[in-house]
Amino acid sequence: MTTTLATTTPTPTATPPHPATATTRPRTPRPRTAPGGPAGTRPRGPAGTHPRTTAPPRALPPHTVFAERLLAVFSGERPVHWMLGHTVGEAYEQLVRIAPETPLRSLGPRPVLRRCSVQVHEGRTVVEAFATIATGPRVRAMAFRLERGADHRWRCAAVELDGLGATARRT
């Protein structure tokens, strides 16, 4: 059995092939993939460079964190007791009265926190925050009060949702 390798003769305008590849078959195009293997296995950038150091992700302000937590409880994604260690005073009782109705539950997309603003009081230990929440085409209002304890942790002290917190306090 004899094996014959096909060689190509260079044309006058083409550059001569490299001596090591002159006797091999022509190269077929390879599929385009990220260099170094599958995506995400190698740092981006030119070869031989170190990856850029990135700053640590910024922590969200406490009023935004609490707005997201309250949104999860009012939409029924989380149970009320999830807020047990994050509330003081009447706030937990207000949540117990309001949350079973799941006032922010919608049949459409998940309710979304649109905006959260804050008013700082009493030497930066008390914060009153208000948020707007989109539940489909409807926009709802939520207000809450945060107090910083002796351990420097923020805890929710009062909650109102479209006036439902005031109703819960009267009953």
Beta-ladder partners of 154: 148
Chain segment 62-120, per-residue pLDDT in tens = 999 999 999 999 999 999 999 999 999 899 999 999 998 888 887 778 899 999 999 99
Mean pLDDT of 150-170: 79
Apex 107 CA angle, 105 and 110, nearest 5: 60
Chain segment 20-62, per-residue pLDDT in tens = 555 666 666 655 555 555 555 555 555 555 556 666 778 899 9
Q: Where are the domains of the chain?
A: 62-170
Neighbouring CB atoms inside 10 A of 71's CB total 23
- Phi first, then psi: what are they for 118, rounded to 5°? -140, 150
Q: What is the CATH number of domain 62-170?
A: 3.10.450
Asked whether residue 167 carries a pLDDT value surpassing 50, the answer given is: no
Cα(75)–Cα(104) distance, integer angstroms: 4
Mean pLDDT of 152-164: 90
pTM of the complete model: 0.63
- Phi first, then psi: what are they for 64, rounded to 5°? -70, -40
What are the CA-CA distances from residue 123 to residues 61, 101, 132 (Å)? 17, 36, 26
How many residues belong to the chain? Answer: 171
